[in-house]
Structure 1
Amino acid sequence: MTLQARLDAFKADFRAGKPPYSVPAAVIATMDRATDELIASGAAGRALKAGEQAPDFALPAEDGTLVSSRDLLARGPLIVSFYRGVWCPYCNMELQALQAALPDFRQAGANLIAISPQTRVNSRKSVRQNELDFPILSDAENTVAAMFGLRFRMPDYLIALYRDVLRNDLPAFNGDASWTLPMPGRFVIGQDATIRYAEVNPDYTRRPEPSDMLPAVRAASLARA
């Protein structure tokens, strides 16, 4: 089953209220409103694109190690995946799909990292829960996500929904009270820091297949030969 097929199946069950899910229609309508408004804002179109230069960054991994994009690029192409957090089932399914594709990425000479705004404690949970063999980096206040053009602040009505109805305490998950998130995004970066693949979607239920990145990864690997 493809990643998107898994995501669509989960979404259908969630919206149908199949156990263990029981979400009122008004909650789903509010979440849909926020997604539609983010799409309409054009924010995704302002994110970094293929052909542009990726910024340098260094962030702590789940084990506390400082991971530098410059150091990773010295070894080969770099795949960067931004996701919302361990609390997001769509993100967890994406991480699992990336893990399944990891041997192909490594065979092509690339390293893979994922970045979220969550604390290192929650990043460790992401690694353990999804059985990952690649690092999860903690991006406090979505600072690096903003450098890639992905950061957005949740609208007040969605904050109220998360806080008061869903009991999803993002300030606790992330260790900051900004109520910001990254739009899910994936980038393949060549050793010259040029972005060779960029995919950003303001609809968090839509994610490309990991295999979609392989042509760009292989091209970036050939360019360094």
Structure 2
Amino acid sequence: MSLQDRLDAFKNDFESGNPPYSIPRAIIDAFHRSTAALIATGQAERALRAGDVAPNFTLEGADGTLVSLLDLLAKGSAVLTFYRGAWCPYCNLELSALQEALPEIAARSASLVAISPQTAPNSRKSIRQHNLTFPMLNDPGNELAAKFGLRWKLSDEMIGVYKTLGADLETFNGNSSWTLPMPARYIIDRDGVIAFSEINPDYTKRPDPSELLPTLDLLASRRAA
């Protein structure tokens, strides 16, 4: 089953109004309005894309280790996924799919890292729950996400919705910004140029990890030439 098939199945269950979720229709409608509003801003089209130079960064991993983009590129290409947090079931399905694809990514001399605004303890929880063997880097305040053009601020209505559902981002992220990254996935070549990008303001839509492999194959063949 593809990642999108898994996401669609979860969405259908979540929005059905049936146990175990039993989410009020008003909350579902609020999510739809929020997604439509973000799409309408056109922000996704302005985010960094293939052909742009990726911003350099050094971030702390969930285990306290500092990881820089230069460190990653010294080993080969770098695959970045922007992860909203442990509270997001769609993001967690994506993490599991990426973990399944990790051997194929690594076989192409590429590193995979997740980047998240959540606190280190929450990242360690995500790593344990999903048996991840790739690093999760902490991006306080979504500062790196902002450099990629991905950071956006939740409306007052959505802040209330998230709190109602138990996703208090002030607690999860350790700050009061109430910002999130748009879900995005990038491949960065060793020269620092973005070779692949996928940004979607609809958090229920994610590309399958297999879509990374043709670009990774191309980059690997160029290095071998």
TM-score norm. by structure 1 comes to 0.98
* Distance in 2 between residues matched to 1:18 and 1:97, nearest whole Å: 26
* Distance in 2 between residues matched to 1:28 and 1:111, nearest whole Å: 36
Q: Structure 1: give runs of 5+ residues left out of the alignment.
A: none
What residue in structure 1 maps to residue 10 of structure 2? 10
| 8 Å contact kept, 1:191–1:220 | no
- The residue type equivalent to 2:187 in the other structure is V
Task: Give the count of matched residue pairs.
Answer: 224
**Does residue 171 of the first structure (1) align with residue 170 of the second (2)?**
yes
What residue in structure 2 maps to residue 115 of structure 1? 115
| 8 Å contact kept, 2:3–2:97 | yes
Larger deviation: 89-98 or 165-174? Answer: 165-174
**Does residue 195 of the first structure (1) align with residue 181 of the second (2)?**
no
* Alignment RMSD: 0.8
Q: What percent of counterpart residues are identical? A: 56
- The residue type equivalent to 2:20 in the other structure is P
**Mapping for residues 138-153 of structure 1, pairs under 5 Å:** 138-153=138-153
4+ runs deviating over 3 angstroms: none
- The residue type equivalent to 1:62 in the other structure is A
Deviation string 1:117-162 (CA, Å, 9 cap, x unpaired) is 0000000011001111100111000000011110000111111221
* Distance in 1 between residues matched to 2:90 and 2:57, nearest whole Å: 26
- The residue type equivalent to 1:203 in the other structure is D
Q: CA deviation at 1:17?
A: 2.2
Q: CA deviation at 1:20?
A: 1.4
Q: CA deviation at 1:59?
A: 0.7
| 8 Å contact kept, 1:191–1:224 | no
* Distance in 2 between residues matched to 1:215 and 1:160, nearest whole Å: 42
* Distance in 2 between residues matched to 1:220 and 1:69, nearest whole Å: 17
What residue in structure 2 maps to residue 137 of structure 1? 137
Q: Structure 2: give runs of 5+ residues left out of the alignment.
A: none
Q: CA deviation at 1:77?
A: 0.3
